[in-house]
Chains A and B, each alone.
Chain A
Amino acid sequence: MKSVRVLSHTADVRLQIKANSRHELFKAGILGLAQIISPRKKERNYQLRRKIQVSSNDFTTLFIDLLNEILTHIHIDKCIYDHIKTLNIKDDHTVMVELEGYLISRFTRDVKAVTYHEAEIIQSAAGIYQTIIILDI
């Protein structure tokens, strides 16, 4: 199970992300970000592949830092990375991800940044991992 829900925010985009595991939560975040920037309408041919590695102080900052790193490459490459080939999260708060994406001439929404505001990965008593993230629009 993984889900991304858009919640209300006066000016920006507030997302609630839930998943059965930390691994799935990270996947949901990556795909959710891609969907916000350019909702996928049909099957695409993947033209670019990119490996990204990020290290942080804890899993919440790791999650936000990873999404920001992907966002950077979306903007520089003008490419929507929405296919996760591999995702490896280590206990030392390091993540390695291999992504594939398709080139795009125009985004549906310009996301300036993934913010740390309200972000906090927590695990419920039922074992569900969840966090809020706010995208600066």
Chain B
Amino acid sequence: MVSFEQLVKINDWEWEIPITTRHDMRVPAYIFASLPIIEALLADRSLDQLINVTTLPGIEMAALLMPDAHEGYGFPIGGVAATRYPHGVISPGGIGYDINCGVRLLKSDLLYKDVKERLEILSKELYKYVPSGMGKGGPLKLKINEVNKVLQKGAAWAVSNGYGVDTDLLYIESNGRLKEAETKSVSSKAKQRGHDQLGTIGSGNHFVEVDRVSEIFDIQAANAMGLQKNQIVVLIHTGSRGLGHQNATDYIKVMISEMGNYNIMLPDRELACLPFNSPVGQDYFTSMAACANYAWCNRQVITWEIRNAWINIFGENAHLNLVYDVAHNIAKLETHQVNGKNKKLIVHRKGATRAFGPAYPELPDAYQLTGQPVLIPGSMGTASFVLTGTESSMKKSFGTTCHGAGRSMSRRAAKRKIHGRELQDELYKRGIFVQAGSLSGIAEEAPAAYKDVNLVVEAVHKAGIAKKVAKLNPIAVIKG
């Protein structure tokens, strides 16, 4: 295990694990965190896993870790690695099993005073309209040829089939579609698992949450996003469901068996990787892009379900418009400055959010001056945050920041310490209506099982890799 003495403090918010710490490191590792967060990270295997990431062939500059990090498998959650294009490796473990798990924020034209008396029926209506839970199918049962269209078109498939409007696509990372997607790279098993899961959130830490904007930190950016104090907004957190899980499983297996052909030796099988420009590397990348498209389509169909529930409660004139939709488990081809030179890189983000600064061409006009919106969900009893990417995040972290509060307690420990029913009642007394498929699921996802999201967000804000815009407080939560 890494010890505190092995860390070099750069400043109050940035730490380094020098390249000399272990013989097989190719680059150093940088951690964005305050001292208390560093102390917490030393309690599990996050930093050892981060050192393992530095051994990836072709890795550039450093392996990075965000303050919401915790131990995972292969990559730590909150890990970022950029490898050289096209000879550096691509690693499915650097993206995770839930490909394009991400967050979408919708804004309403209602204020808290307009909804506070109807929160209970709203939460029940949302629970009825948005399928959640383990292995549960959704309203759409697609034939495989239609699944292929989803994989190719992403969120645009949903819009063209009546599950949204064209302007929705403007406010989605990559406009909800990675053009590199190839349907033939995705196995029939993965497609079978995905044929009935569009429009479902799944379980675990996934949710739909209604929030009240409780604080504005940056008025200019909030205005650009159309956010104001006491406004009601909706967060969606989910990904590519079983289709993405199967795709990752399929390719990690193949990569483990092929790594020897490329003389790749790694400290952990779960880091399995191949050169990006190898046949299997290319197949994985194009399949991952297809799964990312499925995830964007999934969040689009969920948006349609939420809009229907919303209209049932608040009437035909109640609208929900997109603020932004951003992935936190993905690999993208991006150009960044490394040692003063522009380099095309394969940027892996596993539990880390793209946070591009102002003037990035892909961003809609509304965000050209402010930078890309970054959505940081907390746990169901605390706060979530809206931030923006910064020029500094482009220089320090490949345009990346944190993705959430980050777990600090195991699910088992949470279930031992917390009773789901008591927590649900306590949240109810605080004005938070929770609808969930299981009480044990509520206990596992209790706020006490997570780090303090305020400390996490403060760390990225102070480190300069994102800027605080608004704080959101939950008032209704739908969980699997």
Is B133 on the interface with A (CB-CB < 8 A)?
A: yes
Residue of B97, B203, B253, B410 touching A9 (CB-CB under 8 A): B410
Is B193 on the interface with A (CB-CB < 8 A)?
A: yes
A111 to chain B, nearest CB (A): 9
B135 touches A110 (CB 8 A): yes
Is A35 on the interface with B (CB-CB < 8 A)?
A: no
How many chain B residues touch A (CB < 8 A): the figure is 43
B246 touches A72 (CB 8 A): yes
B71 touches A61 (CB 8 A): no
Stretch at the interface among A10-18, A42-50, A83-91: A10-18
Give the distance in Å from the alpha carbon of A21 to the alpha carbon of B202 in the complex: 37
Of chain B, the residue at the smallest CB distance from A118 is: B73
Is B98 on the interface with A (CB-CB < 8 A)?
A: yes
Is A22 on the interface with B (CB-CB < 8 A)?
A: no
Is A124 on the interface with B (CB-CB < 8 A)?
A: no
Give the distance in Å from the alpha carbon of A76 to the alpha carbon of B412 in the complex: 27
Is A117 on the interface with B (CB-CB < 8 A)?
A: yes
**With A68-B253, A106-B133, A107-B135: A113-B411 Cβ-Cβ less than 8 Å:** no
Of chain B, the residue at the smallest CB distance from A136 is: B97
Is B461 on the interface with A (CB-CB < 8 A)?
A: no
What B residues does A56 contact at CB under 8 A? 253, 257
Is B18 on the interface with A (CB-CB < 8 A)?
A: no
What A residues does B202 contact at CB under 8 A? 110
Is B12 on the interface with A (CB-CB < 8 A)?
A: no
Is B256 on the interface with A (CB-CB < 8 A)?
A: yes
What A residues does B268 contact at CB under 8 A? 116-117
What A residues does B413 contact at CB under 8 A? 8
Interface 1/0 per residue, A48-77 and B, CB below 8 Å: 000000001100010001001001100110
Give the distance in Å from the alpha carbon of A76 to the alpha carbon of B194 in the complex: 9
Give the distance in Å from the alpha carbon of A119 to the alpha carbon of B270 in the complex: 10
Is B86 on the interface with A (CB-CB < 8 A)?
A: no
A78 touches B248 (CB 8 A): no
Indicate the member of B74, B270, B408 with the most A CB atoms within 10 Å.
Answer: B270
A33 to chain B, nearest CB (A): 13
**With A109-B134, A112-B98, A117-B270: A10-B408 Cβ-Cβ less than 8 Å:** yes
Is B72 on the interface with A (CB-CB < 8 A)?
A: yes
B134 touches A12 (CB 8 A): no
What B residues does A109 contact at CB under 8 A? 134, 203
Is A20 on the interface with B (CB-CB < 8 A)?
A: no
Of chain A, the residue at the smallest CB distance from B408 is: A10
How many chain A residues touch B (CB < 8 A): the figure is 33
B245 touches A8 (CB 8 A): no
A11 touches B245 (CB 8 A): no
Give the distance in Å from the alpha carbon of A107 to the alpha carbon of B409 in the complex: 23
Is B118 on the interface with A (CB-CB < 8 A)?
A: no
B256 touches A61 (CB 8 A): yes
Indicate the member of A6, A56, A68 with the most B CB atoms within 10 Å.
Answer: A68
Of chain A, the residue at the smallest CB distance from B73 is: A117
Interface 1/0 per residue, B104-125 and A, CB below 8 Å: 0000000000000000000000
What B residues does A107 contact at CB under 8 A? 134-135
Residues of B238-280 at the interface with A, using a CB-CB cut-off of 8 Å, are: 242, 245-246, 248-249, 252-253, 256-257, 268-270, 272
Residues of B65-119 at the interface with A, using a CB-CB cut-off of 8 Å, are: 70-74, 77, 96-98
A11 touches B256 (CB 8 A): no
A48 to chain B, nearest CB (A): 15
Give the distance in Å from the alpha carbon of A53 to the alpha carbon of B402 in the complex: 41
What A residues does B179 contact at CB under 8 A? none
What B residues does A136 contact at CB under 8 A? 73, 96-97, 245
Give the distance in Å from the alpha carbon of A13 to the alpha carbon of B412 in the complex: 9
Is A3 on the interface with B (CB-CB < 8 A)?
A: no
B72 touches A12 (CB 8 A): yes
Residues of B14-62 at the interface with A, using a CB-CB cut-off of 8 Å, are: 44
Is B184 on the interface with A (CB-CB < 8 A)?
A: no
What A residues does B189 contact at CB under 8 A? 72, 76
Give the distance in Å from the alpha carbon of A110 to the alpha carbon of B411 in the complex: 13
Of chain A, the residue at the smallest CB distance from B75 is: A117
A74 to chain B, nearest CB (A): 8
**With A10-B71, A11-B70, A115-B270: A65-B412 Cβ-Cβ less than 8 Å:** no
What B residues does A9 contact at CB under 8 A? 71, 410
Is A121 on the interface with B (CB-CB < 8 A)?
A: no
Give the distance in Å from the alpha carbon of A107 to the alpha carbon of B202 in the complex: 11
Give the distance in Å from the alpha carbon of A12 to the alpha carbon of B44 in the complex: 13
Of chain B, the residue at the smallest CB distance from A137 is: B204
A76 touches B193 (CB 8 A): yes
A29 to chain B, nearest CB (A): 16
What B residues does A30 contact at CB under 8 A? none
**With A10-B410, A106-B133: A113-B192 Cβ-Cβ less than 8 Å:** no
Is B136 on the interface with A (CB-CB < 8 A)?
A: yes
B245 touches A113 (CB 8 A): yes
What B residues does A13 contact at CB under 8 A? 411
A110 touches B407 (CB 8 A): no
A-B CB contact pairs (8 Å), 7 listed = A8-B410, A10-B407, A11-B70, A56-B257, A68-B253, A76-B189, A112-B245
Residues of B bordering A, CB below 8 Å? 44, 70-74, 77, 96-98, 133-136, 189, 192-193, 202-204, 242, 245-246, 248-249, 252-253, 256-257, 268-270, 272, 407-413, 437-438, 480
Residues of A bordering B, CB below 8 Å? 6, 8-13, 56-57, 61, 65, 68, 71-72, 75-76, 78, 104, 106-110, 112-113, 115-119, 134, 136-137
The 4 residue pairs across chains A and B that have the minimum distance between CB atoms: A117-B73, A107-B134, A116-B269, A117-B270
